Amino acid sequence: MKQKWALLALVFTIVTVLIGCEPLLVLDPKGPQAETLSNTIWLSIITMAVIVIVVITLLVIVLVKYRASKQPDDYEPPHIEGNPILEGIIIGIPILIVAFLSVVSVVSTYQVESVPEGYEDKEPLVIYASSSNWKWHFSYPEEDIETLNYVFLPTDRPVEFRLYSFGPITSFWIPQLGGQKYAMADMVTTLHLAAEETGDFVGRNANFSGEGFAENTFIATVLSPDEYDTWIEEIHATADPITEDKFDELLEPGHLGQMTFTGTHLDFLPAPEGEHGGHNHGSDDSNTESHDEMDHEHEHESEHSNH
């Protein structure tokens, strides 16, 4: 009796706690990419739940039906040869389940890595999202605007985030709009998103990057196209331009609030892509200098060999 009441109390506690919880953000999508991920998660949860229920049911049936108390003391089980059909089922079903989940994962991965479905013919809004300890810098080349720790997005337009870092590897993530992707120091990674509902959505660095990691967050605000255009006009009318000295201050480790500037740091500190990509940033001048140095060394070697 005591065990029964303890079990009921445990179930009641779990239900009460779950009722008070907010919905998981990844299961409350506000865009097509996030919806694809949410559907994949639900499909995986349902598939695994069916497996668990079936296995536990079969376990209970076997324990009850074939328990030792049902047999006489002198009972000896008969010798049974292997059943090919049963063995095929035991081996085949797990293989089919793994194959099914693998196909779903691969297909959904390709979908979220591509431009959102239905937005292929629309010009994407390109935003460079770069991280530093422990801030997020958003550069809008098209609008000639830069923001710190917040980003504004229009509805009904694909967004192409180009990610990189001024420090350790971070992970850019807006759970209600899409999956996460790494931002690294010597290369640019691309994340395609789209928002179909207006509102404020929490974004964060999902990869541990030091003591200030917990507060390395930002707000993604989705506006209608008209509201977005109005915001751009207001920024150009009120914000100060960003300078190289100011940007150097922003890169110092620490936490800051939201800031807004006209211009972008890309003008004086380009992203590590194209001719600026790689560990040496692909500078033609540096390549030329290195070739000159090598030629100079060869000349010295030839002179020594002649002597």
Which residues fall within 8 angstroms of residue 151, CB to CB, at 6 or more apart?
127, 129, 136, 138, 203, 218, 219, 220, 221
Let me know whether 42 and 139 are in one domain: no
CA distances in angstroms from 283 to 126, 273, 288, 289, 296, listed in the order given: 24, 11, 9, 10, 20
In this prediction, what percent of the chain has a pLDDT beyond 70? 81
Could you tell me the pTM of the whole model?
0.77
DSSP assignments along the chain, one per residue: -HHHHHHHHHHHHHHHHHHHSPPPGGGS--SHHHHHHHHHHHHHHHHHHHHHHHHHHHHHHHHHHT-GGGS-TT--PPP----HHHHHHHHHHHHHHHHHHHHHHHHHHHHHHSSPTT-TTSPPEEEEEEEETTEEEEEETTTTEEEESEEEEETTS-EEEEEEESSS-EEEE-TTT---EEE-SSS-EEEEE---S-EEEEEEE-S--STTGGG-EEEEEEE-HHHHHHHHHHHHHHPEEP-HHHHHHHTSSS----EEEES-GGGTS--SSGGG-STTTT-HHHHHHHHHHHHHHHHHHHHHHH-
Let me know whether 106 and 39 are in one domain: yes
pLDDT, position 20:
44
Let me know whether 137 and 94 are in one domain: no
Is residue 14 included in any domain, yes or no?
Answer: no
- Is the predicted pLDDT of residue 304 greater than 60, yes or no? no
pLDDT, position 79:
81
Is residue 120 included in any domain, yes or no?
Answer: no
- 164-211 tens-digit pLDDT: 999 899 999 999 999 999 999 989 999 999 999 999 999 999 999 888
- 47-57 tens-digit pLDDT: 999 999 999 99
pLDDT, position 39:
94
Let me know whether 91 and 145 are in one domain: no
Let me know whether 64 and 158 are in one domain: no
Is residue 227 included in any domain, yes or no?
Answer: yes
Is residue 297 included in any domain, yes or no?
Answer: no
- 223-249 tens-digit pLDDT: 999 999 999 999 999 999 999 999 999
- CATH number of the domain that 225 lies in? 2.60.40.420
**Structural domain tally of the chain?**
2
Is residue 216 included in any domain, yes or no?
Answer: yes
Range of the domain at 135: 125-275
Let me know whether 63 and 175 are in one domain: no
Is residue 4 included in any domain, yes or no?
Answer: no
Is residue 307 included in any domain, yes or no?
Answer: no
